[in-house]
Structure 1
Amino acid sequence: MENMSGVPLGRNLALWRTADLEATPESVLANAADEFQLLQTDRPGLGFSRDTCWLRLDVTNPGERRTWLLEFATPSLDYIDIYRIDANAVTHLYRGGDHVPFDERTFAYRNAVAELTAPAQSTIHYLIRVRTTGALNLFLRAWDREAFQQAVVREQIAEGLYFGIMLAMLIYNLFVYFGVHEISYLYYSVFLVFFILMQLAVNGMGYQYLWSAWPGFSDYGVPVFTYSAVFSALLFTRSFINTPRLLPRLNRLIDVLLVLAAAGLLFLLVRYLLGAYVIVVLSNIAAVVSIAAVIIISIVALFRNSRAARFYLIGWAGLLCGVLVTVFRNTGLLPAFFFSDYSLHIGSIALVMLLSLGLIDTINQMRRKLQSYSTDLEQQVSERTADLNSSLNEVRSLKRQQDGDYYLTSLLIRPLNTYAQGSEKVHVHSLLRQYKKFQFRDRESDLGGDVCIAQEITLCEKKYTVFLNGDAMGKSMQGAGGALVLGSVFTAIIERARIGEVRRQSPERWLKNAFIELDHVFQCFDGSMLVSVVMGLLEENTGFLCLINAEHPATVLFRSDKASFLGVEHTYTKLGSGIRHGNIQIYTTNLKPGDVIILGSDGRDDLRMQSDDASSHPESLNEQTIDRIDESQPWINHDETLFLRVVEEARGDLDSIEQLLRRTGEITDDLSLMRIAYDEPAAKQERNRGEQVRSHDEAYYQRYRELFERAKEHGSKRDYDTAIDLLKQAERVMPENLNVLKSLARVLFHTKDYGAAGEYARRTLERSPAENDFLYMDSYCRRKSGDLNGAIESGERLRLREPEDMRNLLNLARS
């Protein structure tokens, strides 16, 4: 158990098969203990079978107590039960499979994953029961939690690329159909829809994302989508190859196969008569036979000089290879390995690409025929004008090409700088001045590596403003390339946060995951593309702020006409430089109404200064810069606190900040600034209201102060019962007073009333989410009250804020 990063367990499993569906662990151990046979492959494939499989797995842990994950890497298994065999008892540990409601799974993942615990220096005996109507592939893997999570991320990226390609082909062909109204494109698009659904059903992602509320649907979803894909593929073949005209005899074969595919769909109506096992086997046979027929038709059409048949033959041959490998793996004729697992993916991508090329080639043939009539005339005109324009074109070509590249790149970057504004409390403004200026076709524009993004998302049913200010390494095109990658990936991350399970993540977890994903993307460039960035989340109702900084200039807080830096101790190296993700810490705080935070790239600090510039603004000088005034040569500002003084003088206004920076020195880099104001109207109303308090409000406040001070006095004397009574009276006077909620949580915690203490801790966090002590109290109270999942969730949130808080780590270990 020392290294479990997806370790195959096939050779560690002993197998016994039986047709008895009523067998129990006790009866198996009593009657068949000597009949188990050790498997000889890492990834056993037993083909289609109705038998119940009993697996025996012995795990030895020579070290300390350890928790590990057991993955059943075949999503189509119907029922999975895991038992621990002790000397005197059989304990049921886990139940899973695609016939078990998805919400009951321990991990929201397409495969069944069981979390098991191995005591220190022990050998544990497990008995596993597996039953399914599909292919019986017993590929089991052992994982550490962290390695499993990393593997899932990589897998999701690969699956996302695959389904992204398939969806792109679908959307493209639909657009072409609506443009040219060629029926072949419609048949092809319908085929892609059912083929994608079939793939989702086969790999378990359909059950995870689409029909998780219908356990067992995949047993019939796979044949439904298979028959539908076969039916639409045959229609596409008849239209694309034009078999009624070119191959009238083979067209009858297509008609027969269409009838059989329709009959296969009708068989699903009597599935309870035939059973899921028979239906699944028949659908696999139908797929292979239909693809073989399509290939035969393509070969015959190729000999009839059909140009389209070339693409068709190669594409379907590739898919046939993928289907055959998959079927042979499902029937046990081939072992399960990477190529057999993903052969259908590879073959299907080749198919859709080649079929799309075939359709494009058909359109191109039509265009070439139309263009051939005007080719001679155009050639004569071109020859007469070529000599006159050649000299001018040679002079201007390089400049035009360069400016054109700049302009197209700037057009790509511009939509990424988004500012979605829908909040009444959070107001975002930005200022973006890229350093590179150019002109293209009478259009003036700029280009650089700075990015400003702000949008709204919902996490845990709370509205947040997510923001990012980034600066990609390099000038002009290099920086713009980094900005394009950064903006595209981060926008995709935001869009993904609006759907699915991501919306349930805590803000700290979402921010860390987004940061890690961005870093992984830029690590792919091997250090040639680095990005400094500051990104964060601001909660609308409470002003709760989460920040993370990757070697970017510090965020500035402008409060009560004073500017200061935020989170300077929580800074990491640039994205793409190899950040140690395990040590990432999220900076959190609570903003007050009227607070403004200013984000900016290093263009705000990289000012080329001269003595006359500095002398004209004595407020910008300090001990670090005053000795440079007499130097005749320009020098670059190194005083980062200069920006604080500029913010104070400009009172947080971005246009005024830019003007002051330009008056102070020459800006030598891209300049981007973001101003995020929290609840400014409420703060202005409070200031206008002043100290005018109505008499009955003053009376309530005095009553609250009296009760609160008496409660403090009794609490200091350890008279907790009286203190609690007084605090609850104060709560009735001022129900949402933060001091009362905090005090009640602390006193109840001292009295070990963990249920009530946890409730007041959570009410405190609702008002002031950045209170780390009360986040720990909530986790501790949840653990004491038996809510281990809640304790872990709160503890993990605190660990992201304070990774070295030993009391929290100890509490998490006990949870």
Structure 2
Amino acid sequence: LYSMAKTKNFVLPKQSYGVFQGYYNQLFEWSQGKEISEKFIEQSFRKMYNWMRYYRKKLEKYQKQQKHFAQKEVKWNQKIQKVLRKLKGRFPAFYKAIEGQPLQNQILMMQPVHSMQDRLYRGNVTDHYIGYVFVFKGNIYEIGLPYTEYRKFMHDPTLAMIWILMGASFVILFGFRFFFAGTLVNPLNRLLEGVSKVNEGNLNVSVKVGVEDEIGFLTRSFNDMVISIRTAQEKLQEYANSLEEKVKERTLELQKTLEEVQALKVQQDGDYFLTSRLINPLGRNNATGEFTKVEFIVKQKKHFQFRKWEAEIGGDICMAHTLYLDDEKYIFFLNADAMGKSIQGAGGALVLGAVMESIIQRTNLSKEARHTSPEKWLYYTFIELQKVFESFDGAMLISMIMGLVHDQSGFLYFLNAEHPWAVLYRDGRSEFLENELAIRKVGFMGAEFSFSIKTFSMAKGDAIFLGSDGKDDLVLPNGTVNEDETLFLRVLNEAKGELEKIPEVLQKHGKLMDDLSVMKITWEGKEPLKHLPEEDQKKLRRAKKLVKIGEYEQALSIFKALHAQYPDADFIVHDIVYTFSQKQDYAQMAGYAIYGMRVFPADEELMYKASYASKMAGDYNTAADIGERLRLRNPTHFRNLINVANVHLLLGNLDRATQLLEEAKAIDPENPKIEELMQAIEKLYPDT
């Protein structure tokens, strides 16, 4: 069967294979369509062998019990058929070979097929054999050997192996004992004895090294360790003996150093104290406005004590003074923060305060200096500060808000040099007055000076708050630094606009980490009149009708009478200026417009008309001065740029006229007025 399977010439011949016919049939059926290999043959026979042994035992059991079923032959046959049905279901080809055979033949055909590697045990109670199966010339043979002969054959070599095993055991049990005692146990005992002596405090121990093996290395390392400990102990004892003397020497050195540090600190505190004494007079509130009130608080971060005085020093400074410009009363204010900590910031604040104090005194003492508009005064003051701080080569920078309040009208002029934005507090609510950065810090190298003066008309009861970045730089309860610039708006609302409560409310939100300065400017003046009584309103309407029909003198008579009665009504001044413009009396028009812009400084239209009327009246210098003031406040006022360019052209200031026309062109490049003036320049100055 195996030979045919290997050659794949596996066909079912006509002759019978006797008792192995069932195995042959089943193997033949399983081999159809499969790869025939030794493994396949081996697995197939193993499977059949195990099951056939099971079915054979069942049938042999029922065969022996046949006599017990003599009266119940039907039941006995049912049991036999049940086993055969199970065999048929699992091995149908095998069943086909034994079907119809007597029970004895069926049992015989289920005898196991052994492989040549299997050892078979045969015999009875007295005689035992060991058998092996082999194939020779197509026949299966089994050879058996008496077990007693096998024992005699194996006796001599087995006895020799027993004696060898006993000898080896003796050597292991007794010889290794002496070997380990000399190479392992005794060296370890000596080492442990040395460790015990060291634990008792004996550092003169030296353990003998027997063999240079791992234990010998460990012993030598132990000896080296004991020597190191003994040496360190001797040095420690020597150091302890001289410790008291060294402590005295070190104490004297420390005392001397502390005295030097204390002397330096006293000197430093003296410098701090002197600097603070110099700054304090500069940061005073000397504003005495009739309607304008200035208050401020300054809390420097650095506190110190010099002798019996306690003081603080830092880079924040606030100033307020009363100025008269063009015979109008103004309140000057300044809130600034010099960059740097402690003495460096204080140095910047000192320089700023000294320069500003000089400018204030010069303005108050010089008639020429007082004859300056607020816009130009702020402009020239900033330029002077910039030049001073530029001399420090960028080592001293100042952020600040500086401005003027027209005491009579509450009109605010200010400029912001990279300082926190000004805040308006009105009717219990706060909001920023600014939303963009216009000017870099004072002292910033290469800073641009083409800036604008910001303006704001304060209403009665308004409060303007200015402050350094110390009001924003708070350490919040979660340990982070505040980056929300709107926090101060909420603080201001919580404090209800009361200056004294602001530091307390700030510290509820976080911990101050920088100098703090806050300035409050309030105005309680009278606002311009908005409406006339009905009777006078009728007069005003009648005068306007007279202007339309050319009755200028009658109209002016009514307007002037109403103006004398209501000097705070700006719309009446506008009507007078308009009437003179219709009459083409530009000198009178300029006079009333200039008067109006002084009383109502927020009115940019009156400023433009004053400049235009002065030009038409031939007063070019006044026209240029007013026009330049308006340009500082509103650089995008197109009509003013055209008018001032024309004035400078009439004055012969070609470069300035050209520059102003370029600014106008950037606003409205297609405007014909620009081209008209450009052609006039080319006509008057063809060589340029």
- Give the TM-score, by structure 2 length: 0.53
The alpha-carbon deviation at position 510 of structure 1 amounts to 1.1
Question: In the alignment, does 2:536 pair up with 1:704?
Answer: yes
Identity percentage of aligned residues:
42
Deviations 1:597-646 (A, max 9, x none): 21111111112222xxxxxxxxxxxxxxxxxxxxxx42222222222232
The alpha-carbon deviation at position 725 of structure 1 amounts to 6.9
Structure 1 distance, partners of 2:374, 2:550, is: 39
* Equivalent residue number for residue 507 of structure 1: 374
Cα gap change, 1:546 to 1:718, in 2 (>3 Å): farther
- Do the aligned residues in 2 keep the contact of 1:547 with 1:567 (CA within 8 Å)? no
Q: How many residues align structurally?
A: 393
* Equivalent residue number for residue 482 of structure 1: 348
Cα gap change, 1:570 to 1:634, in 2 (>3 Å): closer
- Equivalent position amino acid for 1:547 in 2: F
Structure 2 distance, partners of 1:389, 1:604, is: 42
Structure 1 counterpart of 2:273, from 386, 407, 416: 407
- Equivalent position amino acid for 1:463 in 2: K
* Equivalent residue number for residue 521 of structure 1: 388
- Equivalent position amino acid for 1:472 in 2: A
The alpha-carbon deviation at position 666 of structure 1 amounts to 1.3
* Equivalent residue number for residue 643 of structure 1: 488
* Equivalent residue number for residue 494 of structure 1: 360
The alpha-carbon deviation at position 551 of structure 1 amounts to 0.3
Structure 1 distance, partners of 2:488, 2:586, is: 48
* Equivalent residue number for residue 510 of structure 2: 665
- Equivalent position amino acid for 2:487 in 1: L
- Do the aligned residues in 2 keep the contact of 1:519 with 1:579 (CA within 8 Å)? no
Structure 2 counterpart of 1:601, from 468, 471, 475: 468
Matched ranges for 1:46-85 at <5 A: none
Structure 2 counterpart of 1:444, from 279, 298, 310: 310
The alpha-carbon deviation at position 388 of structure 1 amounts to 14
Structure 2 distance, partners of 1:643, 1:657, is: 9
Cα gap change, 1:710 to 1:412, in 2 (>3 Å): same
Cα gap change, 1:787 to 1:800, in 2 (>3 Å): same
Give SS of 1:497's match: helix
Deviations 1:28-68 (A, max 9, x none): xxxxxxxxxxxxxxxxxxxxxxxxxxxxxxxxxxxxxxxxx
Structure 2 counterpart of 1:536, from 365, 387, 403: 403
Question: In the alignment, does 2:398 pair up with 1:553?
Answer: no
The alpha-carbon deviation at position 512 of structure 1 amounts to 0.7
- Equivalent position amino acid for 1:656 in 2: K
Structure 2 counterpart of 1:676, from 513, 516, 521: 521
Cα gap change, 1:719 to 1:518, in 2 (>3 Å): same
Matched ranges for 1:58-457 at <5 A: 393-457=259-323
Deviations 1:345-395 (A, max 9, x none): xxxxxxxxxxxxxxxxxxxxxxxxxxxxxxxxxxxxxxxxx9999576235
Give SS of 1:498's match: helix
Cα gap change, 1:395 to 1:502, in 2 (>3 Å): closer
- Do the aligned residues in 2 keep the contact of 1:550 with 1:572 (CA within 8 Å)? yes
- Equivalent position amino acid for 1:527 in 2: G
The alpha-carbon deviation at position 733 of structure 1 amounts to 5.2
Cα gap change, 1:732 to 1:676, in 2 (>3 Å): closer
Give SS of 2:285's match: coil
Question: In the alignment, does 2:452 pair up with 1:589?
Answer: no
- Equivalent position amino acid for 1:661 in 2: L
- Equivalent position amino acid for 1:672 in 2: S
* Equivalent residue number for residue 778 of structure 1: 610
Unpaired stretches in structure 1, ≥5 consecutive residues: 1-385, 611-632, 687-697
Give SS of 2:575's match: helix
671-680 or 447-456: which moved more?
A: 671-680
Q: Bigger radius of gyration, 1 or 2? A: 2
Cα gap change, 1:392 to 1:648, in 2 (>3 Å): closer
Structure 2 distance, partners of 1:395, 1:793, is: 60
Cα gap change, 1:710 to 1:508, in 2 (>3 Å): same
- Do the aligned residues in 2 keep the contact of 1:557 with 1:598 (CA within 8 Å)? yes
* Equivalent residue number for residue 813 of structure 1: 645
- Equivalent position amino acid for 2:512 in 1: I
Structure 2 distance, partners of 1:711, 1:736, is: 19
- Do the aligned residues in 1 keep the contact of 2:438 with 2:451 (CA within 8 Å)? no
- Do the aligned residues in 1 keep the contact of 2:323 with 2:329 (CA within 8 Å)? yes
Structure 2 counterpart of 1:653, from 492, 495, 498: 498
The alpha-carbon deviation at position 708 of structure 1 amounts to 3.7
Cα gap change, 1:579 to 1:516, in 2 (>3 Å): farther
Cα gap change, 1:720 to 1:766, in 2 (>3 Å): farther
Structure 1 distance, partners of 2:570, 2:424, is: 23
Question: In the alignment, does 2:600 pair up with 1:768?
Answer: yes
Structure 2 distance, partners of 1:607, 1:424, is: 36
Give SS of 2:396's match: coil
* Equivalent residue number for residue 113 of structure 1: none
Question: In the alignment, does 2:331 pair up with 1:465?
Answer: yes
- Equivalent position amino acid for 1:556 in 2: V
The alpha-carbon deviation at position 433 of structure 1 amounts to 0.4
- Equivalent position amino acid for 2:482 in 1: N
Question: In the alignment, does 2:663 pair up with 1:796?
Answer: no
Cα gap change, 1:774 to 1:431, in 2 (>3 Å): same
Deviations 1:179-216 (A, max 9, x none): xxxxxxxxxxxxxxxxxxxxxxxxxxxxxxxxxxxxxx
Structure 1 distance, partners of 2:274, 2:636, is: 48
Give SS of 1:423's match: coil
Structure 2 distance, partners of 1:776, 1:579, is: 32
Cα gap change, 1:780 to 1:404, in 2 (>3 Å): same
- Do the aligned residues in 2 keep the contact of 1:599 with 1:673 (CA within 8 Å)? yes
- Equivalent position amino acid for 2:298 in 1: L
Structure 2 distance, partners of 1:497, 1:764, is: 24
Deviations 1:301-332 (A, max 9, x none): xxxxxxxxxxxxxxxxxxxxxxxxxxxxxxxx
The alpha-carbon deviation at position 569 of structure 1 amounts to 4.3
The alpha-carbon deviation at position 523 of structure 1 amounts to 1.2
Unpaired stretches in structure 2, ≥5 consecutive residues: 1-251, 648-688
The alpha-carbon deviation at position 577 of structure 1 amounts to 1.0
Structure 1 counterpart of 2:440, from 545, 549, 573: 573
Structure 2 counterpart of 1:749, from 581, 584, 588: 581
- Do the aligned residues in 1 keep the contact of 2:375 with 2:413 (CA within 8 Å)? yes
Structure 2 distance, partners of 1:469, 1:409, is: 19
* Equivalent residue number for residue 229 of structure 1: none
The alpha-carbon deviation at position 798 of structure 1 amounts to 1.1
Deviations 1:553-597 (A, max 9, x none): 111222333323224446311011136454121112332332222
Cα gap change, 1:802 to 1:656, in 2 (>3 Å): same
Structure 1 distance, partners of 2:434, 2:393, is: 29
Structure 2 distance, partners of 1:641, 1:392, is: 47
Cα gap change, 1:745 to 1:662, in 2 (>3 Å): same
The alpha-carbon deviation at position 546 of structure 1 amounts to 1.1
Structure 2 distance, partners of 1:562, 1:579, is: 39
Structure 2 distance, partners of 1:720, 1:586, is: 41
Cα gap change, 1:755 to 1:646, in 2 (>3 Å): same
- Alignment root-mean-square deviation, CA: 3.1
- Do the aligned residues in 1 keep the contact of 2:440 with 2:447 (CA within 8 Å)? no
Cα gap change, 1:410 to 1:733, in 2 (>3 Å): closer
- Do the aligned residues in 1 keep the contact of 2:355 with 2:385 (CA within 8 Å)? yes
Report which of the two has the higher share of strand. 1
Cα gap change, 1:400 to 1:762, in 2 (>3 Å): same
Give SS of 1:445's match: strand
